[in-house]
Structure 1
Amino acid sequence: MKKILLTGGNGFFCSRFKKEYGNIYEIISTNRNNLDVTNKEEVLKAFKKYKPDYVIHGAAIASTDFCNKNPKIAYDINVQGALNVGEATKKIGAKLIFLSSEQVFNGNLEGGPYNEESIPIPNTVYGKNKLEAENLLKNLIEEMWIIRLTWMFGLPEHKCNTSENILWNTFKSLLKREKIKASPNEFRGMTYVYEMIEQLPQIFKIPYGTYHLGSTNPLSRYDVVKLILIELGNENIEEILEVDDRYVYKNRDIRLDTLKSKKFGIEFTATDKIIKKVIENLKI
């Protein structure tokens, strides 16, 4: 049985990964309470103790607002923490999956979809952190996959963390009877978290390098929210949903081109179809 060490084990993705694969892999789930990734010596000590075959580095501060307001804390965790994990992974001879983000493209002026050869121009602290960590790790360790992920969505589960996402945010607004604002000019991939989890072990079988993973999505954020509302049986959409015309959401397109990963058999259901499927399963 292969051994996988997770950093950020309490996070949205990793907590579900552990739940899904606990009987297939020996999983060591670490979090900020039992492993401080900013502490180089502590990281190396833990890796030598557990001797994993693979490390999935998911520990990060992903909140854009928090990172922008606390750049030092963000850098220590998102960049230095990643470097510490990379160095420890290399020293014990393990293989690394670094979970990066579409946010490395959030400053690009031309629209997506972006492929792995596109030059990223991040304009937020989080996006800059992820890109710097990618580059440092590429210069450090050869046995590594950099995985740039689209925005993932899913619903709350027992003993799993739930982060802000398009499906859960819409549910919460409906429950609170709040108006929902969404931009018709914001485009991004939106991927069901369990489709990402199902596909991830295939990464172990493909060449090392950078890959874009996630669902294709031609719909704007506004249209995705509208689709969710319709699938949930809401009839008076205009009373619930309104256009978000704030500057930050104008002409934003950070979709990823996933053709490279598809060549290795890693494919995802389109956003509209998987949203319909997830909601339909809730009705059963």
Structure 2
Amino acid sequence: MENEEGDNMERWMVTGANGFLGSRITEYYQDKYEITGANHGNLDITDEGAVTSFVKKARPRLVIHCAAISNTGTCQENPGLSEAVNVKGAVNLARACRETGSCLIFMSSDQIYAGNRTMEPGKEENTPEPVNVYGLHKRQAEDEIMAILPEAVCLRLPWMYDFPWRGLKSNSNLLGNLLKSLIHNRPLTLPVYDYRGITWAMEVVKHVEAAGALPGGVYNFGGGNTLSTYETAGKVLAMVTEGEDRSGLLIPDRERYAGQPRNLLMDTEKIRGFGIIFPDTVEGFQRCFEESPEYMLGLIR
């Protein structure tokens, strides 16, 4: 596809372009692809007609749908809003992509696995029933997208983190919570019966390009882990304090999920079969720190 300057740059469209993940995707690929960003200011994804017109005008080969209401508490309190944005919005994008011939990547969530009653990592083909509104709506969106556009790619993402670099949007994440705890010398309470892969957002960003060439389907898309959230935080804290004993900043919560441990771990064998390999959670934090020395020096020391 040719743009107005005559360059032969492939077109992408990113929804949620001002959000945590969408802004990083846009920033990372802006020199390689002609990217049209959609956000609250220029597109209401719940309006099917507006979505179709927007996609037709942008003419993207690939639509990366990051826009969502991702706060699980907000979704629980306002399920109507969650359904409108997280389900209807995704369905509108799928229909528009079918009409325009664009490829679609839909960002789903590990919250779909919240109903897992075993300690085995969740696999794409044997998904348990979600236990919260957000997970339920992400699962519903996946199903409806695949019915409309079987060649779409749905990526189930884990909890992500990043430094607030380059002025891009931050989010509530384990790294940020640990840094605040260190800076303010304020203890952080974390559950010992909570298990999930926690992934550096830039690892997801770097693999998005390859995800655009995957066969249609659902994929777990993030790092593995064997540690609880409390244990993971202990490992990360030791990295950033370089041997200084600050373990007193972490308080184990032995009540939350005690009756039934929460397991959001994801089996990543399917994606590995396509050559997309994520580091495990602890290694991912190490990579993040190694590639962000200015933040390690400025925020921690």
TM-score when scaled to structure 1? Answer: 0.96
| Structure 2 counterpart SS, 1:29 | strand
| Structure 2 counterpart SS, 1:33 | coil
The corresponding residue for 1:8 is 16
Deviation readout 1:184-211 (Å, 9 max, x if unpaired): 2111011111111111111122211111
Q: Does 1:232 align with 2:243?
A: no
Amino acid at match of 1:166: L
Structure 1 residue 9, shift from structure 2 partner? 0.8
Q: 1:148 & 1:157 partners in 2: Cα distance?
A: 24
Q: Does 1:62 align with 2:62?
A: no
| Structure 1 counterpart SS, 2:126 | coil
The corresponding residue for 2:197 is 189
Structure 1 residue 101, shift from structure 2 partner? 0.6
CA RMSD in angstroms, aligned pairs only: 1.5
The corresponding residue for 2:81 is 73
The corresponding residue for 2:265 is 255
* Deviates most, 192-201 or 126-135: 192-201
- Equivalenced residue count is 284
Q: 1:150 & 1:107 partners in 2: Cα distance?
A: 15
Q: Is the 8 A contact 1:226 1:237 kept in 2?
A: no
Q: Is the 8 A contact 1:6 1:57 kept in 2?
A: yes
Q: Is the 8 A contact 1:38 1:77 kept in 2?
A: yes
Q: 2:167 & 2:245 partners in 1: Cα distance?
A: 35
Q: 1:13 & 1:172 partners in 2: Cα distance?
A: 21
Deviation readout 1:30-60 (Å, 9 max, x if unpaired): 1111110011111111111111111011110
Deviation readout 1:209-260 (Å, 9 max, x if unpaired): 1111111111110111111211122634342111113434751111000001
The residue correspondences of 1:265-280 to structure 2 (distance < 5 A) are 265-280=275-290
Equivalent position to 1:241, from 250, 254, 259: 250
* Deviates most, 104-113 or 46-55: 104-113
Deviation readout 1:98-128 (Å, 9 max, x if unpaired): 1101101112222230111112310111000
Q: Is the 8 A contact 1:145 1:210 kept in 2?
A: yes
Q: 2:169 & 2:120 partners in 1: Cα distance?
A: 30
Q: 2:229 & 2:173 partners in 1: Cα distance?
A: 11
Q: Is the 8 A contact 2:152 2:216 kept in 1?
A: yes
Q: Is the 8 A contact 1:67 1:74 kept in 2?
A: yes
The corresponding residue for 2:206 is 198
Q: Percent identity?
A: 33
Q: 2:290 & 2:27 partners in 1: Cα distance?
A: 23
The residue correspondences of 1:29-44 to structure 2 (distance < 5 A) are 29-44=37-52
| Structure 2 counterpart SS, 1:152 | strand
Q: 1:159 & 1:271 partners in 2: Cα distance?
A: 24
The corresponding residue for 2:103 is 95
Q: Is the 8 A contact 1:112 1:254 kept in 2?
A: no
Deviation readout 1:109-152 (Å, 9 max, x if unpaired): 22230111112310111000100001111111122111111111
Structure 1 residue 169, shift from structure 2 partner? 1.4
Amino acid at match of 1:251: P
